[in-house]
Amino acid sequence: MSARLATVSGAEYAGILGVGSYRPTRLVPNAELVDAIDSSDEWIQQRSGIRTRRWAGDDETVVSMGVAAAQRALEHAGVDAAQVDCVLVATISHLMQTPAAAPLIAHQLGTEQAAAFDVSAACAGFCYGMALASDMVRAGSARHVLVIGSEKLIDITDLTDRSTAFIFADGAGAVLVGPTDTPGIGPVVWGSDGEQDELITQRENWKSVIADPDPQMPHLVMQGNAVFRWAAFTMAKVASQALEQAGLTVDDLDAFVPHQANMRITDAMARAMKLPDRVTIARDIAEQGNTSAASIPLALDRLVAEGQVSSGDTALLVAFGAGLAYAAQVVTVP
Ligand code: UT7
């Protein structure tokens, strides 16, 4: 017998209802880390655009920072935690294999046992999460979804490694996705290239670390220049495809909020897409460093807080990183 199952359907459109972020207390200028990597403030600023970054202290964890960012996103949206049906956390630095960070964050926020899970797509994780949240709201599996990017990369960064020590940093950003009257999240353009896994990877897996008589944290290693070339050239095309799929052109854009990987990558993408000068470009990296999955909501929150974008503006997001996972979509600013 083949029984016919009932289905649900959700809102016609989904969008971002609120955004929030958490920046760790400790501000670290380039001068503080250059000796360990035989570098200079000038080199780091020239090659990456980074002037300072923030490193989380012992009391600032992926979970606590995620909670703080999510609370601010809920406040901005004017929605109570009890109305959240799903919490989705993009992270690569929650150093517990299980349980995931999301259920811990959901509990601390005071949700009514919201569905909760982590997404592991490195620096692309936040945009992956946005795509899932948008589809959930429209399909009816959730009405309000918190998408959180939270990273404490300092724990998996080797501060004597010249190619990563000055780049990676800590923080959290979050958005609340829910039903809207008009489309607020455009179609996602996403993918991955696992063949190039070696370009950004952890040195070892946990099993081989434990087997080592002198175990070391499996730090992130990066072939920076190869990642740079891939990101600067390929990601502009992905971002342009997301614009096209949303039925827009660069002339419709108010803001460009790329993953904050390197200021020169951002500039190269903007040039390749021929973004008009009036488009606001997120440059949070200068003060915040590269916070992987947290970088886009952190950057978006700064633009909102500083009044550089207004509610209803149109912003293009593009994220890329390890796994060579990438994702882009156009969103309406809350
Ligand atoms: O978030 C995930 C995605 N990640 C990214 O998108 C990061 C992408 N990559 C980058 O941002 C850049 O590749 C870096 C900022 C990491 C490095 O900049 P680069 O322009 O690609 O430098 P490079 O690795 O090609 O090295 C250029 C030179 C070399 O010296 P020579 O051979 O030209 O004499 C390096 O030895 O700079 C030297 N160098 C440094 N000098 C001072 C490399 N690292 C450093 C350093 N300080 N930290």
152: which residues sit within 8 A by CB, 6+ positions away? 56, 60, 61, 62, 65, 93, 170
- CA angle (142, 96, 324) in 5-degree steps: 70
Of 253, 246, 245, give the one whose Cα is nearest residue 281: 253
**Strand pairing report for 314-321 and 280-281:** unpaired
Q: What value does the mean pLDDT take over residues 58-77? A: 98
User: Percent of the chain scored above 70 by pLDDT?
Assistant: 100
Q: Report the chain's mean pLDDT, rounded to a whole number.
A: 97
Q: Which residue has the tokens 């633009």?
A: 303
**Cα 174–chain centre separation:** 9
Locate the DSSP E strands across 196-262. 200-202, 220-222, 255-258
Collapse the DSSP code of 134 into the 3-class scheme (helix H, G, I; strand E, B; otherwise coil) and give the result: helix
Kindly report the protein residue whose alpha carbon is nearest to atom 11 of ligand 1.
Answer: 262
Task: Summarize pLDDT for 128-168 with one digit per residue, the tens.
Answer: 999 999 999 999 999 999 999 999 999 999 999 999 999 99
C-alpha 302/C-alpha 316 separation (Å) is: 15
Helices (H) and strands (E) in the chain, counts: 9, 14
Task: Count the neighbouring beta carbons within 10 Å of the beta carbon of residue 53.
Answer: 30
Structure confidence at residue 203 as a pLDDT band (50, 70, 90): confident
Task: Summarize pLDDT for 275-327 with one digit per residue, the tens.
Answer: 999 999 999 999 999 999 999 999 999 999 999 999 999 999 999 999 999 99
Classify residue 25 by its DSSP letter.
Answer: S
Architecture of domain 189-332: 3-Layer(aba) Sandwich (3.40)
Residue 254 pLDDT exceeds 90: yes
C-alpha 198/C-alpha 175 separation (Å) is: 31
Domain range summary for the chain, segments of one domain joined by +: 13-180, 189-332
How big is the chain by its Cα radius of gyration, in Å? 19
Q: What pLDDT does residue 146 have?
A: 98
Structure confidence at residue 95 as a pLDDT band (50, 70, 90): very high
Q: What pLDDT does residue 1 have?
A: 82
Kindly report the protein residue whose alpha carbon is nearest to atom 9 of ligand 1.
Answer: 224
Quick one: angle between helices 62-77 and 101-109, nearest 10? 50
Looking at domain 13-180, its CATH superfamily turns out to be Thiolase/Chalcone synthase (3.40.47.10)
C-alpha 218/C-alpha 167 separation (Å) is: 17
**Cα 204–chain centre separation:** 24
Task: Summarize pLDDT for 3-56 with one digit per residue, the tens.
Answer: 999 999 999 999 999 999 999 999 999 999 999 999 999 999 999 999 999 999
C-alpha 216/C-alpha 208 separation (Å) is: 10
Say which of 86, 219, 259, 262 is annotated catalytic.
259
Structure confidence at residue 108 as a pLDDT band (50, 70, 90): very high
Q: Which residues line ligand 1 (CB under 6 A)?
A: 37, 39, 43, 47-48, 123, 162-163, 166-167, 200, 224-225, 227-228, 231, 261-262, 265, 290, 292, 321
Question: Identical fold at 13-180 and 189-332?
Answer: yes
